Amino acid sequence: MLKIDPDRLLNDLGHLRTFGATGPGVVRLSLSPVDMDARRWLAGRLNDAGLSTTIDGVGTVFGRSRNAGPALLIGSHTDTQPTGGWLDGALGVIYGLEIARALAECEETRHFAVDVASWIDEEGTFSGFLGSRSFVGERVDEAIGSARNREGVLLSDALKQAGLAEAPRVRLEKARHKAYMEPHIEQGGRLEAHGKSIGVVTTIVGIRELKLRFIGQRNHAGTTPMSIRRDAGAALVAFIARMDEAFRQLADADTVWTVGRIDLDPGSFSVVPGAADMYLQFRDASAGRLRAMETALAALIRDFNAEGKVSVAMTDSEPPEEPVMMDAALQAHIAGAAEALAPGQWERMPSGASHDAQVIAHHVPACMLFVPSIGGVSHDFIEDTADAHIVLGCEVAAQAAADILRHLAGQSPR
């Protein structure tokens, strides 16, 4: 009978947490010395589990089952944000390790192939999703040559310092890798609010990141009457109110938008701002709704410019990301395992955050499983998940993995 070892799972998660531990959180930025220590430890654990393991030329840790395919690839990331939590990404990697061990220890499943990956730089210290993009064959050499971290260190120099510059890079084997699973903490509060223990991810949302620049006229804040001011800052604030109203008319319960930064020029008490920049992001699982929001935003800008006092121009801050659907058949396997092990305690839901799965899903059928985040908090030192939910999530993921591999091998379900 397939069984995970809860103590082994929690002990490995706890040990990984010690690499870069900072209070209750973790600081483990990609390719830093502590990150490389964690990667070497993980490689050792994967080897101990019977996987042939390497740290590749961009820093991805990859454990390859010695069993013949078809293979299920399970992965996530072990790098963190500058003020990171201990489970973001790490949970999925250690789930992969534990599932590979559990399947190997069960007579019925020991012949199945589970490969495990800890992708490098999901968090974008140098170049976001570097490991998964390299794995699927995207061109990453330009990023390697030019990307820098906050301290100005070149990615190419960091790879040399880590001793990886000449290492081969792992690649997707289409004849072997037939499915990808990424377990993860939710990073939001929906499961907790609904009293659920497992989320079956339907879609990874699309993202738009835009810069809106408002141009008015600098002037003296004490001598310029309100009636003749061309105040770019005041115009920006008024625009946000109109935008909120327009977006609310289009939104559903999972639509989100954020003004993450505002810059005023010159930013002085005594000067009417002559220019103001607003950095806007919005996310949704529907490509149609994203287009509708873009259309509404463009109409607001046209109306604003027609009023004449302050002009507005919009540019892309980052290239748009389209929503990515998770594979329906793989979702069904996770849902079936969730209902068997936690009846009524699961629901289908979109992922509001980005993940390596959105890169890999364009090349291999992909799925994601969520467990609750306490208080809905992530990307912060206090990020946490109850041990019971961690264990249950791994049990569901392991059962789903076995069912997926049975299906890939042409075997009947349990």
pLDDT tens digits along 212-234: 999 999 999 999 999 999 999 99
What pLDDT band is residue 403 in, cutting at 50, 70 and 90?
Answer: very high
SS3 384: coil
Provide φ and ψ at 2, rounded to 5°.
-70, 125
The token duo for 198 is 């497992």
Average pLDDT over residues 171-196: 97
Q: Which residues of 298-329 are buried (b: 16+ CB within 10 A; e: fewer)?
A: eebbeebeeeeebbbebeebeeebebbebbee
Provide φ and ψ at 25, rounded to 5°.
-105, -165
For residues 197 and 212, membership in a common domain is answered with no
Q: Can you state the percent helix, strand and coil of the chain, rounding each to 5?
A: 35, 25, 40
Q: Given a cut of 80, is residue 412 above it in pLDDT?
A: no
For residues 149 and 85, membership in a common domain is answered with yes
Tell how strand 177-185 and strand 271-272 pair up. Answer: unpaired
Average pLDDT over residues 351-368: 98
| Residue 88 among known ligand-binding residues | yes
For residues 328 and 314, membership in a common domain is answered with no
Supply the pLDDT for residue 69.
84
Q: Given a cut of 90, is residue 349 above it in pLDDT?
A: yes
Average pLDDT over residues 95-111: 98
Is 58:169 a contact under the CB 8 Å cutoff?
A: yes
User: For the packed helices 387-408 and 328-341, what is the interaxial angle rounded to 10 degrees?
Assistant: 130
Domain boundary among 287, 321, 355: 321
CA neighbours closer than 13 Å in the CB half-sphere of residue 159: 28
For residues 35 and 91, membership in a common domain is answered with yes
Supply the pLDDT for residue 300.
97
The DSSP call for residue 392 is: H
Q: Model pTM greater than 0.85?
A: yes
Cross-strand partners of 367? 181
What's the pLDDT tens digit per position in 142-153? Answer: 999 999 999 999
For residues 124 and 257, membership in a common domain is answered with no
Supply the pLDDT for residue 84.
95
For residues 165 and 229, membership in a common domain is answered with no
Supply the pLDDT for residue 86.
98
What's the pLDDT tens digit per position in 269-321? Answer: 999 999 999 999 999 999 999 999 999 999 999 999 999 899 999 999 889 99
Domain boundary among 306, 321, 336: 321
Supply the pLDDT for residue 308.
86
For residues 299 and 402, membership in a common domain is answered with no
| Residue 362 among known ligand-binding residues | no
| Residue 177 among known ligand-binding residues | no
Is 28:38 a contact under the CB 8 Å cutoff?
A: yes
For residues 296 and 372, membership in a common domain is answered with no
For residues 249 and 276, membership in a common domain is answered with yes
For residues 153 and 225, membership in a common domain is answered with no
SS3 197: coil
Across the chain, mean pLDDT equals 97
User: For the packed helices 6-17 and 90-105, what is the interaxial angle rounded to 10 degrees?
Assistant: 150
Tell how strand 198-204 and strand 324-325 pair up. Answer: antiparallel
Range of the domain at 283: 206-321
Domain boundary among 301, 321, 341: 321
Question: What span, in angstroms and rounded, lies between the C-alpha atoms of 80 and 86?
Answer: 8
Closest by CA position to 122, among listed 389, 296, 355: 355
The token duo for 191 is 């499961």
Q: Is residue 413 part of a domain?
A: no
CATH code for the domain of 37: 3.40.630.10
CATH code for the domain of 276: 3.30.70.360
Q: Given a cut of 70, is residue 409 above it in pLDDT?
A: yes
For residues 159 and 216, membership in a common domain is answered with no
Supply the pLDDT for residue 411.
80
Supply the pLDDT for residue 414.
62
Average pLDDT over residues 257-268: 97
The residue type at 289? R
For residues 219 and 305, membership in a common domain is answered with yes
| Residue 363 among known ligand-binding residues | no
- What kind and span of H or E run contains 143? helix 141-146
Residue 166, Cβ density class (10 Å: 0-12 exposed, 13-18 middle, ≥19 buried): exposed
The token duo for 273 is 């701002």
Q: Is residue 414 part of a domain?
A: no
Q: Is residue 1 part of a domain?
A: no
What's the pLDDT tens digit per position in 234-253? Answer: 999 999 999 999 999 999 99
Number of domains composing the chain: 2
Q: Is residue 287 part of a domain?
A: yes
